[in-house]
Structure 1
């Protein structure tokens, strides 16, 4: 049997007497474009923190390509192929775009800060950087410091840095949050063009983006899986409309 890209089995998280995640059994298929939605306080952030190792589960298991990673540290999960982006950008503010990409690629290749060498010795890294700059529309700003980029470009750079890690599973935490309307289409278009062998879990509150991107949706309510299905099934589910789609608040 082929392993799922990512799977949780009976995942629980307790904070004292508070149960933040309740018996969540979830599957992300290989190559999926899957969205996770839910109202305020649904537990989406806790769930993602459990997946990425920020928080340890109280019970249950997390499987990446069929292997348990519940006890693996955050950096170990990245090395095994799970990478995330954040609601608030996590960039190297003191570095330029090209330096940031070079650093991440060099770390992945085990070269660390040795990328400060003549370009001729780094032709393979140069080629990879060129592809990422092109694919994410960053060619014109390659030499600018990350902190000086327009916010839409910062979002694109963060995703480019995630892809530079060569993920098998990519967790995108509200990638269009805070991005001006004029740039949102580009951000989502670049995400839609990501390699098909990268399995993507999108956490998002903008339902137009969700419906345009995902081929499957999971709904989390009060820390538990409330509904799951295709875009059409979720969009027609009256229970989902009552607790989320028709609600006033999202997180």
Structure 2
């Protein structure tokens, strides 16, 4: 069976510190798979390994059955692996329309992407449609630096989606978003197309339990437990180390 995303014995050491400890993960095609665990459990390190930001100390990574362990980060994006970040990584002087248009140009081969965007009507049309889909239609011409933080998070989601990912890694998409803007981010995440496999890191258990069909719990860089939402919610070991007895 070919999985959308798989690791075998994935390890990462920083000197004597073991950040990722023999992680073997299987994510099914079209899954909504959550990674949870205490602070320092190695969740973001795992995402950085999957995307090639840092190299593993051992083990292998497979994207739709293809070994991408040594593949450069931008090549992984081209192969269908995209991510968002815990802290926004935006082109803040640009408008959402400019940012998404450039992302589309890069996806389609780059080349003369820095020509005036007025020469790329099909790109502008696609960008505008995507921004509307992500709740940004009314602010597509506003400089990104002055957008409300919730809109900035939505823009980062839209940027990741502009690459047409097969697998989308979301690192705490609602982190830092004010409560009155949070519902919009959560609604967009929940409405992501079913054909896109989503791996979600999140501390908000309400979001995790409503979104995920499978959960992996990381503790000290290793897989501590794995199963369906129901299995994880009633696992006494997980309650003890992470969820708490009142979960």
The 1:10/1:114 distance shift into structure 2, 3 A limit, reads closer
Q: CA deviation at 1:239?
A: 0.4
Q: CA deviation at 1:131?
A: 1.6
Q: 1-side partners of 2:23 and 2:167: how far apart?
A: 19
Q: Does 1:79 align with 2:70?
A: no
1:14 matched residue in structure 2: 13
CA RMSD after TM alignment: 1.4
The 1:118/1:80 distance shift into structure 2, 3 A limit, reads closer
Q: 1-side partners of 2:28 and 2:166: how far apart?
A: 11
Q: 2-side partners of 1:218 and 1:86: how far apart?
A: 19
1:161 matched residue in structure 2: 159
Q: 2-side partners of 1:75 and 1:19: how far apart?
A: 26
1:101 matched residue in structure 2: 100
Which of 185, 203, 207 is the aligned partner of 1:187? Answer: 185
Q: Secondary structure at the match of 1:114?
A: coil
Q: 2-side partners of 1:67 and 1:49: how far apart?
A: 18
Structure 2: 5+ residue stretches without partners: none
1:196 matched residue in structure 2: 194
The 1:195/1:112 distance shift into structure 2, 3 A limit, reads farther
Q: Does 1:148 align with 2:146?
A: yes
Q: CA deviation at 1:117?
A: 3.9
2:226 matched residue in structure 1: 228
**Equivalent residues of 1:106, 1:115 under 8 A apart:** no
Q: 1-side partners of 2:69 and 2:138: how far apart?
A: 41
Q: How many residues align?
A: 245
**Equivalent residues of 1:169, 1:200 under 8 A apart:** yes
TM-score using structure 2 length: 0.95
Q: 2-side partners of 1:112 and 1:184: how far apart?
A: 37
Alignment of 1:29-68 (within 5 A): 29-68=28-67
**Equivalent residues of 1:103, 1:113 under 8 A apart:** no
Alignment of 1:99-138 (within 5 A): 99-114=98-113, 116-117=115-116, 119=118, 121-138=119-136
Q: Secondary structure at the match of 1:227?
A: strand
Which of 206, 210, 213 is the aligned partner of 1:212? Answer: 210
Q: CA deviation at 1:169?
A: 0.7
TM-score using structure 1 length: 0.94
2:170 matched residue in structure 1: 172
Which aligned segments of 4 or more residues in structure 1 are displaced greater than 6 angstroms?
none
Q: 1-side partners of 2:110 and 2:54: how far apart?
A: 29
Q: 2-side partners of 1:237 and 1:88: how far apart?
A: 31
Q: CA deviation at 1:115?
A: 5.5
Structure 1: 5+ residue stretches without partners: none
**Equivalent residues of 1:107, 1:113 under 8 A apart:** no
